[in-house]
Structure 1
Amino acid sequence: MAPAPGIPAAMERPHFIGIGGAGMSGIAKILAQRGAKVAGSDARDSATAEALRALGATVHVGHDAGHLADDATCVVVSSAIRADNPELVRAAELSVPVVHRSDALASLMAGGRALAVAGTHGKTTTTSMLAVALGRLGLDPSYAIGGDLAGPGTNASHGEGEIFVAEADESDRSFQKYDPEVAIVLNVELDHHANYASMDEIYESFQRFAAKIVPGGTLVVSADQAGAVELARRVRQDGGTDAPRIVTYGLAEDADVRVLAIEPDGLTSRVTVLLDGAELAFRVSVPGRHYATNAVAALVAGAALGIPAPDLAEALGAYTGVGRRLQLKGEAAGVRVVDSYAHHPTEMAADLEAMRAALPEGGRLLVVFQPHLFSRTQELGREMGGALALADASAVLDIYPAREDPLPGVTSELVLDAARAAGARVTAVHDKAAVPDLVAGMSGAGDLVLTMGAGDVTDLGPLILARLTDRRETA
């Protein structure tokens, strides 16, 4: 099949190193759907790899120089791929161009109406809300998201519509590659300490992102979060004839789109906003105030694209979640198990507060937390521990290293010590295999167990449910 229009020649036969990753797999899926001959490799086989194979992609397990075909037109990498990767070394020997993931995504977004969602927290959820709502309205958007939608079950799709919704990652400054018509900034905080040394560097990066909004475009920004407010001030100060229109949203009285009420209702919320002088109420089918305000950001961004707000508000109610964002994994023996991707203290506190609000009377909130990255734990371990004080009891695992090497003296004890100092009830667990028995032994009917972190702690949810089921059957 010949490549569809919109595929640059360099992307006709791409090879992805780490093709199973959330960001990489999304780009690979869209390219495959557009007709490119996609290939790649990943450290292990997975459901994502199988989904790519179903689209016609060739996916190798493990990294080997021989996986790179001689006719590859480019090699796509993320910032996590190390220089000594054998496929990357082979690409240099063959003089195959190396393309960063962000450049590949930018090339796919070109020519359409791009809507980019940025912020330290909430990007995946907000991008997902927009993808689902726009699809519900028959606009058939393309989208690339950092997690799998609960409905379509995928993190990316090529649509026939003109809108392309993309999660814009600030972690390595790659979001500066995009040229959106509308951009959302949900919040601005210090994170990704291996790449940013200060808040000034963070602000500068987000300002560069905002400066890439096309002339006549719109920046949608929170009026409630201090970092986002400061960013808006800096963008206004930058000025210039090409400066984007800024629309603020939130609970603040001076917000352009004001949130009048957020009413929790179990694992859902009802939101009322004041938009263009009229009140508009709609339901958000996921729990927590932060998810409700994410939905408002999606509403404002869609309106900036010219979509009627009442229609979009109703369509947003169709969003039922995305993998790992307060995802209900199941219930056994009267205990619900929910999975959270939260790994920054602000995210952790928001998700813990949302889950506490969803507890039945007498129910307890039990957390299995896995710190993510040595650099983040070194800088924010105290705040992580403080957030765990919002739970009734927590088990803290060893640090998930991801792409990092260990740092001297940096262990999960930093989190545990801070949690104890904050009055939290915490237990150190160095063997993940011990978690299901531990949780089953301490939980009872009405409790809610939250597995939390950006690493492989997510694998524990089904194991906890299985152990709870065994306990019920043998009782």
Structure 2
Amino acid sequence: MELKQIHRIYFVGIGGIGMSAIARFFHEKGAVVSGYDRTSTQLTQQLEAEGIRIHYTEDLEQIDKAADLVVYTPAIPATQKELVYYRENGYEVVKRSDVLQEITRELFAITVAGTHGKTTVSTMIAHLLRHSGYGCNAFLGGISSNYGKNFWSSEKPVAVIEADEYDRSFLKLSPDIAVLTAMDPDHLDIYGTGEAVEEAFIQYTGNIKPNGTLLARHGLARGSELKGDNKLWYSLQNDAADIYATNIRMDNGGYEFDVVQQDWMIDNVQLHIGGMHNVENAVAAIGVAHLLGIGNEKIRAAVADFKGIRRRFEYLVKKNNMVYIDDYAHHPEELRALITSAKSLFRGKKCTVIFQPHLFTRTRDFADGFGETLSLADEVILLPIYPARELPIEGVTSDMIADRIKGPQVKIMPRDEVPAWLKTQEPELVITAGAGDIDLLREPVRELLEKAQAN
């Protein structure tokens, strides 16, 4: 598979965040792009508006029978009619990760992996490269608030890629610069154990191209086993790392700080998004930009202009007496970073967390962690578990988490009842969190809180 040989490409599951980025890549390169997805979403509607043909029923009459390549996502069942047709009729059928593998082979590749932070770090890096004029092709796992997209292209033969560990797909990538943010246990339905998760990340660093660079978070478990001809360590503010932040000041829901390395420093960096973990993410992105030779002034200007990512510590309401933050957090450590950062930025405000657990297996495996982390809030509303690709597991419900929360008031309620309940409250700091369809609460909650502010 050579990228320039592909003139017609068909996507089975085109509406996924990763699939849509690759679809946009080929579309902007002039290929004929079309695809199937189960449901119409804001993202698929954007793709259609850009000129990509999409249909929403399994229909062999609507597929591209002249396709040079067929790409599918692991989320699509093997029995899907179109996928079966392509396989039985001799088409070249590959996973999304196979396409990314070829992109990393042909371009200078910067890949970002980790159980947390990879979407933010990869989007920050891609933004720094675009804003500074360096240029890159960006394949992101979230929607950049600066550009309203999860992909942009460039003539520069450089790619910034979010490396997803879900089905071990990131092990196909061959980066020139590899970033590693975290190695916490997750996706245990795939990996089985936390040790197997760590092994996969170690293997990821073993795929770095000769003379390439690993930039890894300082203090990772088994950090001494990570590979790479050149290794650098970044940290929030641990001066034992190669690159770290210092002199951090909170400023109107954001931060100002200096970034230090042994032989360089950038002072007065301004980051206008919340979350202390995002300062650490910015340190990683700045480290990559510096490796590429981008100057301090351009880095400083790009970070100050960074508007964040949809559903990553996203401010939907930010007033003196009312703050509403929406976040994709769906792992205990992500929730911990979210809640502690919000409470430190908005001290004294009552913190109400509305959380939707994602997957029965994740709820079962991390119920203790979720209970401990949500205990940091003042009040917790739990939604029923969002199943995604899973069937129910007997005895695994949101009650497993509720029973482990110590201190805050806890209620379990359906998603649709949350706005009516909020109307009866006097909320001060509201957080919605989760990776399922809790995002459907964003606009109703925002409108309700904005209206309450106006009264």
Conservation of the 8 A alpha-carbon contact between 2:313 and 2:327:
yes
Q: TM-score, normalised by structure 2?
A: 0.94
What is the alpha-carbon distance in structure 2 between the residues aligned to residue 8 and residue 171 of structure 1?
Answer: 28
Residue equivalent to 1:244: 229
Pairwise CA distance, 1:310: 5.0
CA RMSD in angstroms comes to 2.0
Pairwise CA distance, 1:385: 1.7
Conservation of the 8 A alpha-carbon contact between 2:244 and 2:283:
no
- The 5 A counterparts of 1:392-431 are 392-419=378-405, 422-429=406-413, 431=414
Residue equivalent to 1:321: 308
Tell me: CA distance 1:64–1:176, structure 2 relative to 1, closer, same or farther (3 Å). same
Secondary structure of 1:195's counterpart equals helix
Q: Does residue 456 in structure 1 map to residue 452 in structure 2?
A: no
Give the one of 31, 35, 50 matched to 1:40.
35
Give the one of 185, 198, 207 matched to 1:203.
198
Q: What do the CA deviations read for 1:350-407 (whole angstroms, capped 9, x no partner)? A: 0111111222x64211111000011111100221121111111111001111111111
The answer to which of 300-309 and 86-95 deviates more is 300-309
Give the one of 3, 10, 29 matched to 1:7.
3
Tell me: CA distance 1:173–1:386, structure 2 relative to 1, closer, same or farther (3 Å). same
Q: TM-score, normalised by structure 1?
A: 0.91
Conservation of the 8 A alpha-carbon contact between 1:118 and 1:167:
yes
What is the alpha-carbon distance in structure 1 between the residues aligned to residue 21 and residue 437 of structure 2?
Answer: 20
- The 5 A counterparts of 1:4-403 are 7-9=3-5, 11-224=6-219, 226-227=220-221, 230=222, 232-235=223-226, 243-250=228-235, 251-281=237-267, 282-309=269-296, 311-330=298-317, 335-359=322-346, 362-403=348-389
What is the alpha-carbon distance in structure 2 between the residues aligned to residue 66 and residue 56 of structure 1?
Answer: 19
Conservation of the 8 A alpha-carbon contact between 1:302 and 1:309:
no
What is the alpha-carbon distance in structure 2 between the residues aligned to residue 144 and residue 102 of structure 1?
Answer: 12
What is the alpha-carbon distance in structure 1 between the residues aligned to residue 108 and residue 373 of structure 2?
Answer: 39
What is the alpha-carbon distance in structure 2 between the residues aligned to residue 62 and residue 451 of structure 1?
Answer: 32
Identity of aligned residues (%): 32
Pairwise CA distance, 1:51: 1.8
Residue equivalent to 2:424: 441
What is the alpha-carbon distance in structure 2 between the residues aligned to residue 128 and residue 19 of structure 1?
Answer: 21
What is the alpha-carbon distance in structure 2 between the residues aligned to residue 248 and residue 441 of structure 1?
Answer: 48
Conservation of the 8 A alpha-carbon contact between 1:332 and 1:468:
no
Conservation of the 8 A alpha-carbon contact between 2:353 and 2:377:
yes
What is the alpha-carbon distance in structure 1 between the residues aligned to residue 394 and residue 90 of structure 2?
Answer: 39
Any stretches of 5+ residues in structure 2 without a counterpart?
none
Any stretches of 5+ residues in structure 1 without a counterpart?
237-242
Pairwise CA distance, 1:78: 1.6
Tell me: CA distance 1:273–1:139, structure 2 relative to 1, closer, same or farther (3 Å). closer
Conservation of the 8 A alpha-carbon contact between 2:137 and 2:160:
yes
Pairwise CA distance, 1:472: 6.2
- Counting matched residue pairs gives 453
Residue equivalent to 1:239: none
What is the alpha-carbon distance in structure 2 between the residues aligned to residue 340 and residue 109 of structure 1?
Answer: 30
Tell me: CA distance 1:330–1:86, structure 2 relative to 1, closer, same or farther (3 Å). farther
Pairwise CA distance, 1:52: 1.3
Conservation of the 8 A alpha-carbon contact between 1:396 and 1:427:
yes
Pairwise CA distance, 1:157: 1.4
